[in-house]
Amino acid sequence: MNWGGWAEWSALGGHVIYVWAAYVVTAGVLVIETLLVALRSRNIRRFLNEDPATADAHDPPPAQTADQAP
């Protein structure tokens, strides 16, 4: 390959918009995936460390049916 310098390399033979867009999209996906994995990991650790006696406190109360209404 005949390399003429940084300006020629950064132009990427007229395909600069496609190449840099692919880099940006890939970097964005990697950042989002990393954040989602960290969030899932934190939620799993919280769930595993939760006291079983208070675990039901997060669940909503069951809905009353018509025959259970006061």
Report how far residue 64's alpha carbon sits from residue 70's, in angstroms, rounded to the nearest whole number.
10
Give a yes or no: residue 23 inside a domain: yes
The whole-model pTM stands at: 0.56
Give a yes or no: residue 58 inside a domain: no
Strand, coil or helix: 54 = helix
At 6 the pLDDT is: 78
Write out the chain's pLDDT in tens, 70 residues: 566 777 777 777 778 888 889 999 999 999 999 999 999 999 999 888 876 666 556 666 667 766 665 5
Give a yes or no: residue 37 inside a domain: yes
CA distances from 14 to 1, 7, 27 (A): 16, 12, 22
Strand, coil or helix: 5 = coil
At 7 the pLDDT is: 79
Give a yes or no: residue 55 inside a domain: no
Give a yes or no: residue 56 inside a domain: no
- Domain containing residue 30: 14-49
Number of domains in the chain: 1
